[in-house]
Amino acid sequence: MHELSIVSSVVETVMESLAPYPGARVVEVRLRVGALSAVIEDSLQFCFGIASEGTPVQGARLVVTIVPVVMHCAGCGVDVELKSVQSFRCPQCDAPCFDLRQGRELEIESFEIDDGLETTGGEEIGVKA
Amino acid sequence: MTTRIVELRRGILKKNDELAAGLRERYAEAGVLVLNLVSSPGTGKTAFLERTLRELKAHGARVAALVGDLETDNDARRLAASGAPVRQINTHGICHLDAEMIDKHLAGWEGVELGGLDYLFIENVGNLVCPSSYDLGEKIRVALLSVTEGEDKPLKYPTLFNSADAAVITKMDIAEPCGFDRELALRNINEIRPGIRIFETSSKTGAGMGEWLAYLAEERSLRG
């Protein structure tokens, strides 16, 4: 259950990055989370609501993209995507794989803001820039 | 409403990773081998560390330990009986140690200088999930598993076992009455972390400790 620590860091980082956009409200935050990063998306979603409360990030959607585990297979000489994290073997030749190339990511990819500019009074339906 | 997208592409744990990188440099400069011990609660980390500290001290090595727990300084008091300097880190509800906690507790640790140590052990909070995300700057991450736990622990917690540099099986003295399937456990560890060094130990009888201590000495000499 370190998801609260993780999303607290996310909220903190996004808020720091909001400095050039005074008055902006965050509508979406996109994360890239490796399949081997040991965080659970449901917990991230749950904790995100708590961590963002009372901040300009409150109410934003959290979009989580899971990044599959990719190992380099020395035998085949190529990067291979693991079918499951229960076995670190090459899906092509079944040899054990030692070299992890992808799958531990814990990254903020981007966030989307509504900076309140160009808003026409009373209009409720939004257009994405 | 007009919206715009701000690209960030930044590691969520960047602050921890930067602090850990700084610690790693300090450890290397001081010539101290730092190990991070991770397991479930009840695996026997403290008993294993107690025995390790005692035996290393008997061999004349300069050792110290930082020990993480949510509450109490029970473990620090137990480990201090070895004669090694031990400092407790209470996380007060946080399920893992992070680089900042290590940095803070290394500062102002009376009588302990990194440069005066051969080995520093960090006993993490008993948890097989969360500590795997937090780099403490250690050279060796040790995953421990006891014979009383399921042989499939490595399959259930692949993140931790895959990020470990060494695996220690504890409580081998009671393997038989526990019906511990040794072959299966070894196979599962190897399935998640192929080729990892595995030590089969008993903190009670001392079985496997010789091999473990030899590994520590070898890793330390590799530091140059």
The confidence score (pLDDT) of residue A1 equals: 66
Place of tokens 């599959």: A68
Tens digits of per-residue pLDDT, B122-147? 999 999 999 999 999 999 999 999 99
Is B196 within 8 Å of B190 (Cβ atoms)?
A: yes
Q: Whole-angstrom Cα distance, residue B35 to residue B65?
A: 10
Which chain B residues contact residue A37 at CB under 8 A? 133, 159
Provide CB contacts within 8 A for B84, sequence distance 6+: B53, B57, B63, B64, B65
Domains and CATH numbers, chain B: 14-222 (3.40.50.300)
**Cβ-defined contact of A117 to B192 (cutoff 8 Å):** no
Average pLDDT over residues B163-190: 98
The confidence score (pLDDT) of residue B200 equals: 98
Tens digits of per-residue pLDDT, A73-86? 999 999 999 989 99
**How is chain A split into domains, by residue range?**
3-16+23-114
Q: How far is B39 from chain A (nearest CA, A)?
A: 15
ipTM of the complex: 0.82
Q: Which residues of B5-26 are buried (b: 16+ CB within 10 A; e: fewer)?
A: ebebeebbbeebbebbeebbeb
What's the mean pLDDT when you consider all of chain A? Answer: 90
Please give the residue that has the higher pLDDT: either A43 or B223.
Answer: A43
- Chain A residue whose CA is closest to B152: A86
**Cβ-defined contact of B6 to A98 (cutoff 8 Å):** no
Is A31 within 8 Å of A65 (Cβ atoms)?
A: yes
pLDDT at A122 over 50: no
Average pLDDT over residues B56-84: 95
What is the pTM (predicted TM-score) of this model? 0.91
Q: Which CATH number fits domain A3-16+23-114: 1.20.1250.20, 3.40.630.30, 1.10.357.10, 3.30.2320.80?
A: 3.30.2320.80
The confidence score (pLDDT) of residue A2 equals: 86
Q: Whole-angstrom Cα distance, residue A76 to residue A61?
A: 41
pLDDT at A126 over 50: no
Q: How far is B30 from chain A (nearest CA, A)?
A: 29
The confidence score (pLDDT) of residue B66 equals: 98
The confidence score (pLDDT) of residue A118 equals: 59
